[in-house]
A = this chain, B = another copy of it.
């Protein structure tokens, strides 16, 4: 791609993501920054999220339904609620098995491991009672 040029919209999208604990979808980012940029378009949000993902400044997480985005790029793992779809960081570290996998598996070279833990979140458990 050509030389990157500054854009206030891209800056705002990245800031918005960095200020969130959850993992918003493109649509949620769009809603979230319309206060600051009332005329921004959803296309611009998608374009910048893709660009930031390519640059490695954010991470894209495919889930059921819309993709989620995460400004925390350091390796970490996620909990995904089977009931409400919420995506949460799991902050505790478990041993990363990448070296183990590469030592034993020949389908390709593994660069990264993402663990996804599925279950029912506490919010949804409360609702059931």
Which A positions have Cβ atoms within 8 angstroms of B? 60, 62-64, 67, 79, 81-82, 88, 90-92, 94-95, 97-98, 100-101, 104-122, 124-125
Contact = CB atoms under 8 A, between A and B. Distances in A.
Contact of A118 (B95, B106, B107, B112): B112
6 contacts: A62-B63, A106-B122, A111-B120, A113-B116, A114-B116, A114-B118
Contacts of A100: 92, 94
Contacts of A108: 79, 81, 88, 119-122, 124-125
Contacts of A81: 108
A119 B111 contact: yes
A111 B124 CA distance: 14
Contact of A79 (B88, B105, B115, B119): B105
A62 B120 CA distance: 18
A105 B90 contact: yes
Contacts of A119: 108-112
Nearest to A83: B108
A101 B77 CA distance: 11
